[in-house]
Structure 1
Amino acid sequence: MLLKSNILKAISFKNPVQLPLSYWLLVCLRFLLTVVPQRGYLHPDEFFQNVEVIAGDIFGIDVSKTWEFDPQFPVRNILVPKLLVGPPLYLIRFINPYTKFYLNIDLKTPYYLLVIPRLFICLLSFINDYCLYRICVLYGQNYKNRLKIFATSYVVLVYCCRSFSNTFEMMFFSMLLLFVAECMSFSDKVIYHDEFLRQKYEQAKTPVEKVKLFKLQTHLPEHSLNRVIVLATLVVVGIFNRPTFVGFALSPIFFWLHRGLGSKVIGFKDFNFRIFTFILCGIPTFIVMVIVDSVYYGYLTLADVDSMQVNWDNWVVTPLNFLRYNMDKKNLTRHGLHSRWMHVAVNVPLLFNVLGAIAILHCLSNVYRFMRGQYSKLPRIQSITGLMLFSVTIPVAILSAFPHQEARFIIPILVPLVYLYGNHLQSNETDGPGYKKLKNYLLYTWYILNLLLTLFYGFIHQGGIYPFTNSLHYEIKSTYGMHTHVITTHSYSIPTYLLQLEDTKRIWTNRATGHKYRLSPSTFIMKFGSMPTKDLLETIDYVLTDAEMLLHKRQRKYRFYVATPCSLERDIELEATKYPYIKLVEAFSYYPHFCSEALPQFPSRSDRHCLEKTDILPELVDLNVIQRISCYMKRFCYKIYSVHTTSNT
């Protein structure tokens, strides 16, 4: 028992809370940026893959469910978002009556509906920090520098505080790395003591000495199946969250299975037994996930269970549907096809800038050493460096095999990336003057680039959609029952749950009469992609005509908005001249708003649209460079037009 306690003590953690003040300031910054709030809009999936759907279930409101949640062919698991996004939404539903009554604060408004779930996810994001910290301490690495590098990444400040399934994938991956790293360290120490005692046993000359050594050997703690239940459960949950988790889990699980293989005490028998046990321990979680999805999507009902008429058609395996969908290149074409080198050449530098460049150079160096046969200079297959290196390269390589590649798909590799190369940005006493200067330059580059990218993706990218949604929410609530038509083009979709619209698909029952009825919709959000201006005006004409008919026949008042990037202002107003009975009036605009779907053109020296409408146009406009740049920057905004007929204006 004494030997067992000594081994456990050897891998215990010292000074668990000695974190630098700069890191705690960065912690506060992460919360502050979340509360502000960040009005930037990274991708529709940050809402429509999780919080939009869960909010509809919890609040009973009208939401926009994407094709991924189509009961005919569902590809998204519902349990993971329910567990990770559900608690803050349930909290809002529970305490909102009290905050309204006692504090006069309505939590069902866009600000709180946006910020409270993000705060909860922001809190969960510290799982990544904690896992990085524990791994560093476990292997005697400088955790202070690495934590500061990690906490200043814009991936952490922006992506990790949003409800992306990739954000959850990053947390699962970080936990998987920590558990495997702990198992590797523990196994190394147990195997070392086991081999040492075996050697001493063989060298012992007396029976008494052999008995003592044998007893010591039997007191060694078990390690072969350490964390097997936790690891198997984590892998299954991660795969149901995003089937791409297979690529991330491959390296850690391989290293967990490979612990001690080749030593005198661990053989292929142990390796095979670990695989069998791991698969066996993952089955219960797999069954639970399948049952939850099958019930949620209506494949399995209580009537089926009561009648014992359950067959293969009553089950749905969402990861399998996900793979079936993505194996068809026609489906991927709808979402955009990219070159196979997109992740390595573009997304890695974009997400991780300096660290990404160092990682690419280091991987190329290892490939060169491998080709030259310099195997001794490569990381050991059972070392923590080997685990982290493979945890960076294997996921990127696997995801690069698919032609649809978005930057957020590879954000989970940030933790192993910082562990491997975080210290490359911090100078130490052994570095020469030139090397210290280079490291300081790389460190400042890291800080500056991440600051700029935080501002861009956190506040500028599609930054006009949230404030417009906020204004729209209050307008709808202030004039209940008035028809509201909104057309958006060349921008991301409005998160419908922020508007808190009543569910028009639900059947209501009058308690007094027992009569069943369904509410008629009064708000119509029409989301178009990069619709040509000509088609946009035709759609406006159609919607306006229909609204005017309801106004004259049923006295149904309406408001009609068209939301587009400011860069389309000239084209829309020019096309609108072909419809003399349509009046487009600028209601408001929001700045800044960057939209890659409609980038503005840099104005020429004679561009009259750069002048204020109140200015008297001279015969010849001659703009200098400063005026042209100022004009160009002002076009990065989100313009909202109020649509009327000329008879109403």
Structure 2
Amino acid sequence: MFLKTDILKAISFRNPVKLPLSYWLLVVLRFALTLVPQRGYIHPDEFFQNVEVIAGDILTVDVARTWEFNPKFPIRNIFVPKMILGPPLHFIRVANPFTKEYLNIDLRTPYYLLVIPRLFICLLSLINDYCLYRICVLYGQNFRNRLKIFASSYVVFVYCCRSFSNTFEMIFFSMLLLIVSECMFKSDKIIYHDEFLREKYKQAKTAVEKVQLFKLSTHLPEHSLNHVIFLSALVSIGIFNRPTFVGFAFPPIFFWLHRGLGSKVVGFKDFHYRIFMLVICSIPTIFFLIIIDSSYYGYLTMADIESFKITWENWVVTPLNFLRYNSDMGNLTQHGLHPRWLHLAVNVPLLFNVLGILAIFTLSGHAYRFIRGQYSKLPRIQSITGLMLFSLITPVALLSLFPHQEARFIIPVLVPLVYLFGNHLHINESDGPHHRRLKNFLRYSWYTFNIILTVFFGFVHQGGIFPFANNLHREIKRTYGTHTHVITTHSYSIPTFLLQLESTTKVWKDKTTGHKYRLAPTTFLYKYGSMPMDELFTKIDDVLTESEMMLHKYKKKYRFYVVSPCSLEKRILETANSYYYINVAEEFSYFPHFCTEALPAFPSNRDQFCLEDNLIRKNESHVIDLNLYQRISCYLKKFCLKVYRVSPAKNHR
């Protein structure tokens, strides 16, 4: 007889299962790549949407607070990044005096500021692995193959160890899938035995049998509202983290509500009761998150609470502001408009390569069978396969409705994708020779593509920004008080928190006199995106003129850098020649650095700029033909980041 203890035993977390060594090696590699560190820079949001702001609050340094955290119209919740990034940053703040004193290690340097938060996020990313593992074990699926495929994805190596809000969204989504899977498993077992006992009760001929069967049915555990409090809290937090979580949460919640619907023991009354309880249980969490945001952004103060002068103006609901902002097409245009097929045609193959393409073909086959009415050949809806299938399709379909589409928006679907198709890359005993060769090819292709993409996004893409920030930090500390001007063009912005600039907004107090004061800024970062070269040099001229004035009037020493991809070197030097009073000289170069904002053109065989400077400068009239090797070498060398020192020409100082 199936009793409550049987269910608990079936879903117990204490069952020790040996995981393959290859999986553990991949986990170690995940942490090792984080420690190296990964100098690649996927998108500015990995810094400026989370860690930049939280570091400013905890470490009391100057940071760039983006428009999303503008108190006048905030659209980002602060609770989730505080909970995830707060512990590692507080550790840096508290431990740094001790590590400097006893170990001579300064934790408030770019390396540790980059690596320590990422290590903590990398540790949290194991939640995704665990959820996939538990779901596979729960439903008797091969977890070994799936875990190896999951852990070898470059999405896990790169995206899951960065402070993207999408990374946090993936963790919430994995937890939601696990909880709902457990609830479905438990409900199916209990409903099956409940129906069995009811049928036996009807067939019982004596009162004694009926009493025994009735007592047995009363021992069946409750299952209708399993984990309702945790589910409601998880969904609420996920939506406040990113309102797009609605698309990810809809399939699991839909399946949680429909558990057993259509059976003899579960009806629409239970369905509506579950909805009601889910909504009611989410209210405390929502109210708590609103209070946190309202307090952080200054809408709700202790004075308001003590005086009981609280109105609607004291509350801020960041998800609603997010929706209001993104419902304006003009706002989306500023961030870039994309065709609605981009996720399906580009982002899915880019993120998931072999698995993504395999999923597209398989789902196309399911769609064909559905249109032909071959419903018996489709996966059963109220099953774990149905849950994973809808959890894969629904988010991608809903996010495809929005005209602004970035690849990282759909990284959470990796978990259902691997569950559904991860085992397809490994050979089964029943496979014939043709299928074995095909699966080997797909598996090796999966590993190859993920190695290439890990290297590219982890180390090459915008790879010059971090080493430059590292050198800039040391230079600022070495020459404290010297004004530093940095203009970045055609590259991502420098994360300001890595430089650990003393706060110019905090009010400091002199210990001797007691006077309060604010520090004047000494480091100035100018972010000009893909500004045309003529306009860029107008800005350079303005900054240089202002710096020279401060030097002669107030004796303020300065240094002035322009940071640009190597592909723009020729244009920068040619434009600089027209400004006879400005001297632009190369100071540093960082390789590799790939950026789509300034892709280099493949040089022709007469491209004399590819030659060594000393050769071409000696005889500019002499044209030298380049062979293919020289052209390829020249092209690859253009994938770097150059730092130019700007100063007045000597005869015009």
Normalized against structure 1, the TM-score is what?
0.99
Deviations 1:519-555 (A, max 9, x none): 1000000011101111111111110010001111111
**Structure 2: distance between partners of 1:415 and 1:490:** 35
**Structure 1: distance between partners of 2:281 and 2:559:** 57
**Structure 1: distance between partners of 2:596 and 2:10:** 54
Partner of 1:130: 130
Partner of 2:638: 635
Partner of 1:482: 482
Aligned partner of 2:623: which letter?
L
Partner of 1:647: 650
Aligned partner of 2:597: which letter?
E
Shifted more, 346-355 versus 361-370: the winner is 361-370
**1:115-514 mapped onto 2 (5 Å cutoff):** 115-514=115-514
**Structure 2: distance between partners of 1:11 and 1:619:** 78
**Structure 2: distance between partners of 1:10 and 1:191:** 16
CA contact (8 A) 2:505 2:518 kept: yes
Deviations 1:479-535 (A, max 9, x none): 110000000000001000000001111222223323221110000000111011111
**Structure 1: distance between partners of 2:635 and 2:123:** 39
Deviations 1:177-214 (A, max 9, x none): 00000000000000001000000100000100100000
Deviations 1:131-171 (A, max 9, x none): 00000000000000000000010000000000000000000
Partner of 2:59: 59
CA contact (8 A) 1:79 1:293 kept: yes
Q: CA deviation at 1:15?
A: 4.6
Aligned partner of 1:240: which letter?
F
- Aligned residue pairs, count: 649
Aligned partner of 1:297: which letter?
Y
**Structure 2: distance between partners of 1:306 and 1:4:** 50
Deviations 1:541-572 (A, max 9, x none): 11001000111111100000000000000001
Aligned partner of 2:353: which letter?
N
**Structure 2: distance between partners of 1:580 and 1:117:** 46
CA contact (8 A) 1:13 1:138 kept: no
CA contact (8 A) 1:491 1:565 kept: yes
**Structure 2: distance between partners of 1:24 and 1:8:** 28
Identity, % of aligned positions: 71
**Structure 1: distance between partners of 2:593 and 2:296:** 38
SS at match of 1:485: strand
Aligned partner of 1:519: which letter?
L
* Structure 2 unaligned regions, length at least 5: none
Partner of 2:584: 584
SS at match of 1:467: helix
**Structure 1: distance between partners of 2:637 and 2:345:** 32
Q: Give the aligned CA root-mean-square deviation in angstroms.
A: 1.1
Q: CA deviation at 1:14?
A: 7.6
Deviations 1:448-500 (A, max 9, x none): 00000000000000000000000000000001100000000000010000000
Aligned partner of 2:535: which letter?
D
Aligned partner of 2:520: which letter?
S
**Structure 2: distance between partners of 1:343 and 1:491:** 24
**Structure 2: distance between partners of 1:410 and 1:378:** 25
SS at match of 2:614: coil
Partner of 1:624: 627
CA contact (8 A) 2:174 2:415 kept: yes
Normalized against structure 2, the TM-score is what?
0.98
CA contact (8 A) 2:239 2:319 kept: yes
Partner of 1:69: 69
CA contact (8 A) 1:127 1:171 kept: yes
* Structure 1 unaligned regions, length at least 5: none
Aligned partner of 1:626: which letter?
Y
Partner of 2:600: 600
**Structure 2: distance between partners of 1:343 and 1:2:** 45
SS at match of 1:643: strand
SS at match of 1:614: helix
Partner of 1:528: 528
Aligned partner of 1:543: which letter?
V
**Structure 2: distance between partners of 1:196 and 1:386:** 25
Partner of 2:99: 99
Deviations 1:214-234 (A, max 9, x none): 000000000000010111000
